[in-house]
Amino acid sequence: MNAYKTNKKKISGSSYKEVNKAAERIFKIIKSRTKRTPYIRSKYFKGQKIFLNIFWRHLLDKRENDRLRRLKFFDCAMDLIRNTTYEPTTKENPNKRSEVLHRFAGITSNNEIFYVQIKEDKASGRKDLLSMFPEN
């Protein structure tokens, strides 16, 4: 699998509060571009919208140290979704047959590998950002 090399660094910080504040600042810019559900457009999906609301709900299900670990890659993940043209690993969701999961690989400017997972509804074609996480 090819990995997209972002020109962004991980969000720095040692506490969840600090990293969350930086990630919310980035999200606020994205959110301000629309009156409805926040989204970003993806080159890989030919400019289709990737909605971001499910990610925030999914993040709140995790423990705080796991949230911190994932949220550090928020800026890198937004860059990857916007600009990658590399083929993701795609498989049917084992928990819900009506969904397909796309997993993109990325490398930060500090050469750390991370993954971004996008859920696609087969019937409607709607795509939602599910998660982002480091390699290990």
- Backbone φ, ψ for residue 68 (5° rounding): -60, -45
User: What pLDDT, on a 0 to 100 scale, did the predictor assign at position 125?
Assistant: 94
Arithmetic mean of pLDDT, 112-122:
96
Model confidence at 2, pLDDT cuts 50, 70, 90, reads confident
Q: Is the pLDDT of residue 34 over 80?
A: yes
Cβ atoms < 10 Å from Cβ of 92: 12
pTM strictly above 0.85: yes
Examine the pLDDT at 136 and tell me if it is beyond 90: no
Q: How many other CB atoms sit within 10 Å of the CB of residue 1?
A: 10
Residue 1 has pLDDT above 80, yes or no: no
Mean pLDDT, rounded, of the chain: 95
Q: Is the pLDDT of residue 70 over 90?
A: yes
* pLDDT tens column, 74-95: 999 999 999 999 999 999 999 9
What is the spatial distance between Cα 91 and Cα 101, in angstroms, rounded to a whole number? 5
- pLDDT of res. 62: 93
